[in-house]
Amino acid sequence: MTEKRILIIDTDTRYRRNLLLNLKQEGYQIETTGSLTEAIKKMVREIYDCVIMDVKLPEIKGYEAISIIKSIDPKVRVIMTTNKNSISLETKVRSQDIYYYFIKSFGVEELKIALGSLFINNKKERTNMKQEVLKGKILVIDDDHDFIDAVTVILKSASYDVVTANNPKEGQEKILTEKPDLILLDIMMDSIFDGYSLCNAIKTSEEFKEFKRVPVIFVSAVKELSGSRFSFHSADQGMVGPDDYLDKPVRTDELIGRIEKFLKKH
C-alpha cells in the first residue's frame, strides 16, 4: 500500500494534535510542526503528498508561504486552513495555487472528504506517470547530505531518476552499476581535488571508457566560500575537466536548464 504522507503546519499545538489523531485513524502518515522554517527542513528531507497549512504562521502569512512550499516541491498539494474567514482573506487565499480552502469551524469531516478526493486524484496521476518515460538518470556525488536531499527533490520533481553517492569511491561504484546519463559532481570531498581526479578518470580511464561521453557538471561552493573559483586549471595539469560548472547555492531553473541542454545533445 502506498503511503499517504501529510505535513501539518499550524501554531496551535492542540489543534495539530487533534488533527494528527483524527487523520492517523484514516491511515495517513502524519508529521506536524508549528513553523514554516521547520516545515521547509522536513520537506527538503521527505516528500509529502499534501501540506495542510494555517494562514497564521510565525514567520509569514500562510498564503504568502505557498510559493515557497511549491518551490521545494511543485507537485505537493496545499490545503489552507483558518479559524476565522473573511471575504478579503478568502480572496487572497484562493488566488494562490491551493487544492482546498478549509475553515476549521466546519469540522474535521469536511477536511477528510477533501483529503479523500485529493488522494484519489493523486492515484490517477501516479498511474498516468507510470506510463511516462523518465527524462534520464542523474548521479549526484557530494558529501553534503543537505545538498543531496535538496537536489534530489528538485530533480525528481522534474521527472528525473536520481541516484546518489557521498564520496568518490561510492561515486565510482555507482557509475559502473547505475550507468547514469549525467553526473553532478562536487569538487571538494575527502580531499580538495577529489572532483577533478574523478572527472579526469571518467573522461580518460579504461575503467570508465563507456562513460567518457557522459556529461559531468561540477557543482561547488568554492566561489561562495572564497569569493572566487579555484585558480587550478585541469588542462594545465594534463587533466580533462568537466563539461560545465555551477556555483552553490544552485538556482533550480539554472540547474534544470543546464541538465536539459546536455541530455538533448547526448
Encode pLDDT of 88-99 as tens digits: 999 999 899 899
pLDDT at 233: 54
**pLDDT digits 0-9 by tens, 10-38:** 999 999 999 999 999 988 999 999 999 99
Phi, psi of 107 (to 5 degrees): 100, 150
Sequence-distant (6+) residues with CB within 8 A of 201 are 172, 207, 208
Q: Is 182 helix (H, G, I), strand (E, B) or coil?
A: strand
Domains of the chain: 5-130 (3.40.50.2300), 137-265 (3.40.50.2300)
Ramachandran region, residue 237 (left: φ > 0; alpha: ψ -120 to 50; beta: rest): alpha
Reported as a single tens digit per residue, the pLDDT across 70-121 is: 888 888 999 999 999 999 999 999 899 899 999 998 888 888 888 888 888 7
On the question of pLDDT at 237 being above 70, the answer is no
Distance, CA of 90 to CA of 73 (rounded, Å): 24
